[in-house]
Structure 1
Amino acid sequence: MTTIDITLSAPVNLRDLGGIPIAGGVLRDRFAIRTDDIAYVTEEVADELVTAGLTAIIDLRSPLEVATTGRGPFADRPVSYHHLPLIADVGDSMKEGAQNRLGHEAMGEMYVAMVERAAPQLVTALNIIAYAPGATAFHCAAGRDRTGVLAAMLLLALGADDDDIVADYARTGENMAAIMERNRPVMGAMWKALGFDIDAFDGRTLLEGSMEVSMRMLLTTLRERHGDALAPLRAAGLGDDTIARLRARALA
């Protein structure tokens, strides 16, 4: 798919994970940043993030999404870029979501599958965060699902409690209307190219009820199946040395 004309805009779901309690203390600022799509942020936002210490970007989007927007302003800045898709085919995932009505429980099931199927990508992402010289920003399109899964795995590795992991994830709820508005032009063009009706995937069911359901399902189901929620990542190569480095770098 060719790159389309995009209006640059500031992200509406960007937040530093600093301040969350972790093993040994509190996660420091300017270590890990989660956000909605930063491939089409304004030049000013890109400059602000780099000036604040951003040195690495982890792009969790599918290859099709990346082909739609490219890297945007960050392609011209001294920031390393790592494409680690957690979903290979976003079209297939939308078909599955439509069948499940895109509800919170269906999203929780998708998160579990994401961890189990994309564990190698998640391990690579954690190593990037552990060894990047400055702050790392990670994103998908909305900064909710794929970004939420990586945030949860990072916080688990850092020793955060479930309640704090769920609370961070649920903060996206207040931003959902703005996220949908910002993403509509880009996602609409992509869905149209794939033959989907964007109005059939408006995400209204995700504005209803509590977002917490999805993340608690992820954490609970992983433990029920594997004993340790990080077990799929450990099996894919996540070592104690990486976890130790993450914790040392993350402490305030």
Structure 2
Amino acid sequence: MTVTDLDVLPNLRDLGGLPAVGGRRTRGGVLYRSALPAPGDTCPTAVADWPARTVIDLRSPREFATRAHPLQSDTTAVHLISLLTDAEVTAPSRGTQLAEIYHTVVTHAGGQLAAVVQLAATAPGPVLLHCAAGKDRTGIAVALLLRLAGVGTDDIVADYVATNEHMPAVLARLTRFAPELGRTHPHDRDLRGAVPEALEAVLARWDAHPGGVHGWVRSHGATDETIQLWTERLTA
């Protein structure tokens, strides 16, 4: 991997083009996902419209406070919505399965996930979601947004698993640009990559909730109006 490679934001993609219910498809230029942006990143070619107008950073407060966000500007607003606490991020894995971590997020951060939906539905786009690796917290939040808009399990999981192609670059970038994460972030969790069964369990939990995923997100503060706005924004 060259220095130039490390200057390219990894795991960046546009979530447009996915099939949804009713013959609809997700629109391009609405929702992006990525790993952690870094100062001096080259202008990406993976998406058509850059930088995103709205950035939702899913890291913990301590991760976020380490340095100024490189995408914050007069035209890009950065919002911190933490899906794991500082203690949860830095806790040793001790064999903890990703499914257990994802269960913790869905159990304890439902309100934060509903806030992600509200921002995605109403803030200027494109909207970029990221955490540190762009795998776990980002994977859950993206899965929720896609499921709300009617994207099926297979396509959601395929997008999630696509992160595995980028993990060598993600880990190299964390070592270079965020060495504090290299010291505190449980690397074994990242080295496991994206585990389909972990996200499938989250999707199954949402589907089993009364009213499905719509009922779940409403139970955590989202409104029918917000869900409709998001669905109409993302799909055509």
Query: After TM superposition, is the score higher than 0.5?
Result: yes
Matched residue type, 1:123: A
Tell me the secondary structure at the aligned position of residue 26 of structure 1: coil
- Conservation of the 8 A alpha-carbon contact between 1:30 and 1:53: no
Tell me the secondary structure at the aligned position of residue 53 of structure 2: strand
Distance in 2 between residues matched to 1:86 and 1:53, nearest whole Å: 23
Q: Which residue of 1 aligns with 2:187?
A: 201
1:37 lines up with 2:36 in the alignment: yes
Tell me the secondary structure at the aligned position of residue 138 of structure 1: strand
Shift of 1:167: 0.9
1:164 lines up with 2:155 in the alignment: yes
1:204-228 Cα offsets, whole Å, 9 max, x none, are 7505xx7212111222244456673
Tell me the secondary structure at the aligned position of residue 37 of structure 1: coil
| CA gap 1:51/1:187 in 2 versus in 1, 3 angstroms | closer
Unaligned 5+ runs, structure 1: 1-7
Shift of 1:116: 2.0
1:106-158 Cα offsets, whole Å, 9 max, x none, are 11221122022111111111111111232100100011000001001101110
Among 126, 130, 137, the residue aligned to 1:135 = 126
Unaligned 5+ runs, structure 2: 1-5
Q: Which residue of 2 aligns with 1:251?
A: 235
Among 85, 90, 95, the residue aligned to 1:88 = 85
Among 48, 70, 73, the residue aligned to 1:76 = 73
| CA gap 1:50/1:16 in 2 versus in 1, 3 angstroms | closer
Query: What's the C-alpha RMSD, in Å, of the aligned pairs?
Result: 2.7
- Conservation of the 8 A alpha-carbon contact between 1:23 and 1:247: no
Shift of 1:70: 2.0
**Is the helix fraction higher in 1 or 2?**
1
TM-score for both structures, normalised by structure 1: 0.80
Matched residue type, 1:111: Y
TM-score for both structures, normalised by structure 2: 0.85
Identity of aligned residues (%): 30
Among 234, 242, 249, the residue aligned to 2:226 = 242
Q: Which residue of 1 aligns with 2:52?
A: 54
Shift of 1:54: 2.3
1:116 lines up with 2:107 in the alignment: yes
Matched residues, number = 230
